[in-house]
Structure 1
Amino acid sequence: MITNTELEYKGNLYPNHIVEYIRDKDKFYFTTDNGVILEITVIQDRTIRFRYATEHTFQPDFSYAIDPDARRGYNRLDIVETKTEYIIETAKVQVLVDKKTLRTQISDLEGNIINEDELGFHWEENYEYGGNTVKMGKITQNSESYYGMGDKATHSNLKGKRVSNWVTDQYAYGKDQDPLYKAIPFYIGLHGGQAYGIFFDNSFKTHFDFAHERRNTTSYWADGGDMDYYFFYGPEMYKVVRAYTNLTGAPELPPLWALGYHQSKWSYFPESQVKELAQTFRDEKIPCDAIYLDIDYMDGFRCFTWDKTKFPDPKRMIAELEEDGFKTVIMIDPGIKIDKEYSVYQEALKNDYFCKRADGPNMKGKVWPGECNFPDFTNPEVREWWANLYKEFMVEMGVHAVWNDMNEPAVMEVPTKTAPLDTRHNYDGHPCSHRKAHNVYGMQMVRATYEGVKKYVYPKRPMVITRAAYAGTQRFSSTWTGDNVATWEHLWIANVQMQRMCMSGYSFVGSDIGGFAEQPNGELFARWIQIGIFHPFCRVHSSGDHGDQEPWSFGTEITDIVRKFIELRYQLLPYLYTMFWRYTREGRPMLQPIVCFDQKDTQTHFRTDEFIFGEQILVCPVQEPNAQGRRMYIPKGNWYNYWNDEMIGGGKEKWVVAGIDKIPMFIKAGAMIPKYPVQQYVGEKVIKELVLDVYYTKGAENSMVYEDANDGYAYENGKYSLRNFKLLGKEKELIIQQFKDGSFITTYETFKIQLHGLPFKIKSVEVDNEKVDLEAIKLNGDNSIEVFKDFTQLHITGE
């Protein structure tokens, strides 16, 4: 039973007793005597929305975060009224609403409490700006842990931390510095082996206290707007992430080249330097798919222009780079230079597309071009105009992808680093100040960019990158973690940020490999590359003012190591592409901290370093200099050391040898890992054979390979190849079954199956119940065999 409390506490106001209850299909309204309305909406059996109004009045129900295509529907929905409470029940959870206090309690169907109000909803009038500061207090359960919240540069478990969400250009940020470039007000709670999630959908500045001020209380609040949050029930962590991703959306499948290795610097110019860079990649035989042009390609930093001195014929250059297998990615910032001779500025000024200050003048701020005005991307008319500006770049010049930077928006030479709070925004027909629009400004910019790029690269797929983001931005864009530093501490930060972003529904993410600010030495660069190839977005980027940061910049030994790992990235592309396909279809995080892999093992709850790449590869970076190995935690199950095939059991710590040329990397027993041959760029080679690295286990394990044309939209009409494999291992027997779907015909006809850890010598092989001559399947001394790709069952028996 939830007990009552004082109506006022430290100046805050609280709901009192319920005087009215109304049901409208999947919505339940509870109104209190002092004018608070709680609207509970059942989105799905495990997804419940809680929205509060004061003075009997809800604000307009509008959100940029929610995917309009989010799946809805539930299996069961009932409500029971007792003397003291209302109880709403779905097929997964119960929601109790207390009649005296409006406080809520959520439990599973066995009565185990998952999440419950402590102080519950409360508010305080904001006398300076109007409206309310809205607050929510929750009870911290015994041994509860907290994860998520986007790009926070702190320990993966947020227990005892306090963080804020205010999108900020935070150059050379440090560990525990907050806030940063993203505002993703979503966290996962874990206690008693059960996980749940909370998404506080409020674009004002928000704050979260995870048992920091009071060890038994977790609270979150916003400087304005509604108390509007969604609850997601697992009980598995990945199901929480999946439910949140269903609500806020997943990206479409990117072109395969977007998952290759990318090279960037501030800045590569003139054209001769870009061409030399491209040639060196090919001469050194280091795979690379994309070269980035930072702001110096522009004429005086004016967006949508070219400096014809540095780049006299960009169309020709881009075409020549493409012939050598390189895609060209260009940067576009939001600040539009105030220049009456500049056509983009003239058009925006004429159509009144710029953000305004409270008293009428256009909002003005200094960025790279000098004084700039800023388009109001929360205006749908402005977004359409902005999207159309990409036509010349994408259609006529042949640019392949666009990178939006400085879109917090970043403003120089002002203490706040951003637009004044009185700046006005359209907010899709819900006019507001920058207090409300700030956190979504970059999101709406990259949304407009995505829509333009998608329109003009069609029938190919778009690739867009953003620095600033709010929850749901993953629908439009990949991202990176901003201006980091070339230090070992930042290598640790990058590892934690990647896991945290993936657990926050945003998997297409990477860091500036090697560090943006300052200069890495060869060892740090090599160690960063080793982890960077396991990040969904894989790009080296640096500030360029401290020396070179290309793969060959640190001597022959480091170059060879870097090449080896970039080649491994390209070998693993079918595995990575399959991971991405599952992310788009199922909302599965592409990287998982090991707590997500085994949440019942309390040893995993505070681990930061180890992560699961996809579902079957365990990685643990070396994060200190002069190390020849490290201690790491091996989670449940059996795992093969990738480098020597040694198998070890999980549930314990282990010292793993890893000199400068290796990273601790393990493959789950029973996994079938698909590999392509090394290519210098995606599409360089016609794939003649798919390698399947098969790791023996006693018992069963499932694997899959998704493939399509690597670009375009034919896959949406069934032109894909999905191969599901089931492996069953016995003492002297190995059975592999294949189930196929889709009409795409791969270029290869055979699998090369490489068997690892086989505990017996092969005596016979049957393919689809027919015994075959061992010579016919090219059985080699290294336990590899070649079979036709469309087999249904492969049966191997041993002596």
Structure 2
Amino acid sequence: MIINSELEQRGNQFPNDIKEVRQEVDTIYFTTLNEVVLQLTVIRDSVIRFRYGTRGILEDDFSYAIDTDSYTGYNHLELTENKNYHIVTTAKLIIKIEKISLQTKILDKEGHLINEDEIGFHYEESFTLGGNIVKMGKRAHPGETFFGLGDKPVHLNLRGKKFTNWATDSYAFGKDTDPIYKSVPFYIGLKEKKAYGIFFDNSFKTNFDFCQERLDVTSFWAPGGEMNYYFFYGPSMSDVVANYTHLTGKPDLPPLWSLGFQQCKWSYFPESTVKALAQKFRDLRIPCDGIYLDIDYMEGFRCFTWNKEYFPDPKRMIGELEADGFKTIVIIDPGIKIDPDYWVYQEGLENDYFCKRADGPYMVGKVWPGECAFPDFTNPEVRDWWAGLFKDIVGDIGVRGVWNDMNEPAVMEVPGKTFPDDVRHDYDGHPCSHRKAHNVYGTQMARATYEGVKKYVYPKRPLVITRSAYSGAQRYTSSWTGDNVATWEHLWIANNQVQRMCLSGMSFTGTDIGGFAEQPTGELFARWIQLGVFHPFCRVHSSGHHGDQEPWAFGDEITNITRAFIEMRYTFLPYLYTMFYEYSTKGIPMIKPLVYYDQEDPHTNYRTDEFIFGNCILVCPILEPNSKGRRMYLARGTWYNFWDNSIIEGGRELWVDADLDRIPMFVKEGAIIPRYPVQQYVEEKVITELKLDVYFKIGKEASQVYEDGNDGYDYKKGRYSLRNFNLTGKEGELTIQQHKSGTYDTSYDTIKLNLIGLSFEIKTITVDNVEYDLNILENDGKCLKLSKNFAVVNLMG
């Protein structure tokens, strides 16, 4: 044990005795004799903010991560004290602050310890850089596990590892590479089956140690800024993630087509190549909604321009693609080519919009176009200007989505691969160096892009994709996990990264299916497609330098498997869209690791491969070559094998057969899964019938289906359809109740119930108290067609 005096000799300083306590409504200030201030704010009964200042000073309070519309308010707040502690009590928590040290203990209402400081807040004056190195040490308990932290390419459980958050262009990263593209300083702890979360809202290079250096201590620190963190209490992981997502913001619904399949490569050009690609998708009947143009569509890699040789009339081309069901998405990078004849550079220069070095010259760095200047996206005036640049490309030419790359920001031919630390930023009126702005740069670029695309694609909805992100980026943008590699290890990484991003508030995420660098085998591509169709963002992307990576590039067998799984995704679109509705309204992750799904089961703390797609479908990808199946863990409960409808009890490991045309998939008993017919693109067909796969169970289960106009903003005025279904199964009886809300009138008039696993033969059918003839049953008594407005259907054996 290192005692305080020894630590102080190393330059660490600690709070000492509390000399003053004052309360201002929801905020309590504790000040020590050596002028350390703890500002404790009760945001909700289970969400507490801890903010520390030294020399009696708290910085200007500003954060890019916090959603200004996030709900706050608590039911109870009481401040008391005893001999050793000041005690803050809310409706859900008891927070004890030690009088001689400011160290805190957080307990639930029953007095069970949830989280406690080890040495707590301490700091070191940084005389070389200015400001403080701020540090926090927390005690870790035996069996405590840790999850979250964004896109880290490691085992889901973070215990025993150490991480840095510094957005980094990490081409061909590998397992355990750190840091990579995103900076999400939020993690979830699970102690004695109770969950809590910590969000260290500090945009400097933050560091986290989960019991690596000392087996019983977790710590987080940063070389600048404030010790400013939010504590979330569950006790369920779902409460922690939802509260974090509320705080940092939830996205609007995307256009439904953006949940369809997308095809990308570096690069599709000229126009004839793009048109041939689109034609091949339609000829082979492989559904696809989006085609991406990489940097070669531009004139000399200048953003917001078109190469007239490759794309002589982009508006016509994009219109023709749109007529065939393809949306066009283009890449836009932050580097603006230094060229006096280039209008974007001229405007930026005239208005002083580019980042500068400390002594005044512009920040110059080499990227694809050569020497570039970089807009300061932390300046609101620059963001407005940038948004306006999309008028032509989106508003006139018809591009439907924008993909922001290289926005860590990435710079070539320099050791750190990014801006030097002395670059200056506006930081929305809080001027700072790049040390503070680096991690938020990509998110602020995506934000500016989002505002532009949203404005000029109106009345449609925008799609923005980003590579770099900080907490809160989900308000503006979807993301992908960056430049991965076509290897089996990367398939494992892909599965982990998307689960982790979903836990970290950023559900609208996917990976470069098949791998960006190098070339996959047909088998690897097929297995990756099988995983990728269950990711919220579903896009094939490759560097194209090692060969083609379209669905038909690997021979007929792989083409047929790929088509079948992409078709499956399209049939699941209403289920996927309902998942997104739950995410955008309640902050529920679209994909749930098993530990989120069942934190009470100790086995789930150590599982990485299996996940829950939405609420009811358990998926386990095949991650090794030449596999005819695999061992996997089936979560507790009763499940139907998706492929043959056999019923299996969970809570155990089992072997599952899975030839190359299968992925292990299980559906929870009692689930009602909405399905559409296969379409080549979203809205190719008018949906004339909603099919519901009803999985019988004895007991009760609730499901819902959300639908709206698939694009546009009418849903915000109540023009949506939300069907809530309650299933009740008994021996020899099944009842399904429907309650519908919203004013949207769906295109279909009938709902078809596909009854799976019914344990009896139907003898009577009652719909809304009217008895029906058994002749209305189809498919040997397994299907029932009803009016879409039925309220109660009752089937009896």
Q: TM-score, normalised by structure 1?
A: 0.99
Match of 2:262 in 1: 262
* Cα deviation, residue 7, structure 1: 7.8
Q: How does 1:511-526 map to 2 (within 5 A)?
A: 511-526=511-526
Could you tell me which amino acid in structure 1 is paired with residue 109 of structure 2?
A: L
Answer whether contact 1:7 1:14 (CA < 8 A) is retained. no
Give 2:225's aligned residue: 225
Alpha-carbon separation, structure 2, partners of 1:337 and 1:432:
25
Taking only aligned residues, the RMSD between alpha carbons, in angstroms, comes to 0.9
SS in 1 for 2:530: helix
Q: Secondary structure at the match of 1:19?
A: strand
1:311 aligns with 2:311: yes
| Equivalent position of 1:553 in the other structure | 553
Q: Check the 8 A contact 2:15/2:122 in 1, yes or no.
A: yes
Tell me the alpha carbon deviations over residues 748-789 of structure 1, each in whole angstroms, 9 at most, x when there is no partner: 0111111111111111110011110122x3433151111111
Matches within 5 A, 1:162-181: 162-181=162-181
Assess if the C-alpha contact under 8 Å between 2:299 and 2:305 holds in 1.
yes
Counterparts of 2:233 and 2:5 in 1: how far apart (Å)? 28
For 1:717 and 1:11, the matched residues in 2 are separated by 58
Q: What is the alpha-carbon distance in structure 2 between the residues aligned to residue 528 and residue 239 of structure 1?
A: 31
Matches within 5 A, 1:699-738: 699-738=699-738
> Residue 258 of structure 1: CA displacement?
0.5
In structure 2, how many angstroms separate the alpha carbons of the residues matched to 1:354 and 1:280? 43
What amino acid does structure 2 have at the position aligned with 1:784? Answer: C
Secondary structure in 2 aligned to 1:13? coil
Unaligned 5+ residue runs, structure 1?
none
Alignment of 1:631-642 (within 5 A): 631-642=631-642
Question: In structure 1, how many angstroms separate the alpha carbons of the residues matched to 2:5 and 2:93?
Answer: 26
Alignment of 1:538 onto 2:538 = yes
Match of 1:789 in 2: 788
Query: One-letter code of the match for 1:792?
Result: A
Query: CA contact under 8 A between 2:135 and 2:222: conserved in structure 1?
Result: yes
2:498, 2:348 → 1: CA distance? 37
Letter in 2 for 1:444: Q
The letter for the 1-side match of 2:300 is: G
Q: Which residue of structure 1 aligns with residue 292 of structure 2?
A: 292
Q: Is the 8 A contact 1:204 1:435 kept in 2?
A: yes
Q: Distance in 2 between matches of 1:334 and 1:293?
A: 16
Residues 373-403 of structure 1: per-residue CA shift (max 9 Å, x gap): 1000000000000000000011110110100
Q: 1:219-253 CA deviation, whole Å, 9 max, x = no partner?
A: 00001000000000000001100000000001100
Equivalent in the alignment of 1:131: 131
Match of 2:207 in 1: 207
Deviation at residue 63 of structure 1 after TM alignment:
0.3
Local SS of the residue matching 1:357: coil
What's the secondary structure of 1:451's corresponding residue?
A: helix
| Partner of residue 14, structure 2 | 14
Alignment partner, residue 352 of structure 2: 352
- 2:85 counterpart of 1:85: yes
SS of the equivalent of 1:605 reads helix
Name the residue aligned to 2:412.
412
CA distance in 2, matches of 1:723, 1:594: 27
How far apart, CA to CA, are the structure 1 residues paired with 2:567 and 2:668?
Answer: 21
Deviation digits for residues 483-513 of structure 1 (CA, Å, limit 9, x no counterpart): 0000000000000000000000000000000
Preserved contact between residue 7 and residue 15 of structure 1 (Cα < 8 Å) = no
- Paired amino acid for 2:794: H
Post-superposition shift, 1:636? 1.2
Q: Deviations over 1:281-302 (max 9, x none)?
A: 0000000000000000000000
Q: Distance in 2 between matches of 1:111 and 1:515?
A: 49
Matches of 1:702 and 1:641, distance apart in 2: 20
Q: Please say if residues 762 and 781 of structure 2, whose CA atoms lie closer than 8 Å, have aligned partners that are also in contact.
A: no
Q: Is the 8 A contact 1:5 1:101 kept in 2?
A: no
Cα offset, 1:349, TM superposition: 0.4
The letter for the 2-side match of 1:91 is: A
* Cα distance in 2 between the residues matched to 1:126 and 1:63: 22
Tell me the distance in 2 between the aligned counterparts of 1:291 and 1:307: 17
Native 8 Å contact 1:675 1:692 kept in 2: yes
Per-residue Cα deviation, 1:187-238 (whole angstroms, up to 9, x for no partner): 0000111000000000000000000000100000001000000000000001
Asked if residue 244 in structure 1 is aligned to residue 244 in structure 2, the reply is yes
2:608 alignment counterpart: 608
The answer to whether the Cα contact below 8 Å between 1:487 and 1:520 also exists between their aligned partners in 2 is yes
Aligned to 1:155: 155
Counterpart residue number, 1:396: 396
DSSP-derived class of the 1:762 partner: coil
Tell me the equivalent position of 1:441.
Answer: 441
Query: TM-score scaled by structure 2?
Result: 0.99
AA matched with 1:425: H
1:16-95 to structure 2, matched below 5 A, reads 16-95=16-95
C-alpha displacement at 1:4, in angstroms?
Answer: 8.6
Residue identity opposite 1:783 in structure 2: K
1: distance between equivalents of 2:238 and 2:753?
31
1:780 corresponds in structure 2 to 779
Counterpart check, 1:758 vs 2:761: no
8 A contact 1:301–1:368 mirrored in 2: yes
Mapped partners of 1:382, 1:392: distance in 2: 18
Q: Which runs of 5+ in 2 are unaligned?
A: none
SS in 2 for 1:230: strand
Deviation at 1:142, TM superposition (A): 2.2
AA aligned to 1:170 is S
Counting aligned pairs with the same residue, the percent is 65
The one-letter code sitting in structure 2 at the alignment partner of 1:785 is L
Cα distance in 2 for partners of 1:368, 1:5 equals: 53
Within 2, Cα distance between the matches of 1:59 and 1:7?
Answer: 26
Instruction: State yes or no: 1:119 paired with 2:119.
Output: yes
Q: Is the 8 A contact 1:28 1:39 kept in 2?
A: yes
Which runs of structure 2 are paired with 1:96-111 in the superposition (5 Å)?
96-111=96-111
Q: What is the CA deviation profile of residues 594-619 of structure 1, one whole-angstrom value per residue up to 9, with x for unaligned ones?
A: 01111011011010000000110000
Cα offset for 1:10?
Answer: 3.1
Contact 1:144 1:189 in 2 (8 A): yes
- Report the counterpart of residue 234 of structure 1 in structure 2: 234
- Kindly indicate whether residue 432 of structure 2 is the aligned counterpart of residue 432 of structure 1: yes
Q: Which amino acid aligns with 1:630?
A: R
AA matched with 1:717: K
- 1:4–1:100 CA contact under 8 A, matched in 2: no
The one-letter code of the counterpart of 2:327 is: K
How far off its partner does 1:5 sit?
7.7
Q: Stretches of 4+ moved more than 6 A in 1?
A: 3-7
Determine helix, strand or coil for the equivalent of 2:286.
coil
Count of residues paired in the alignment: 795
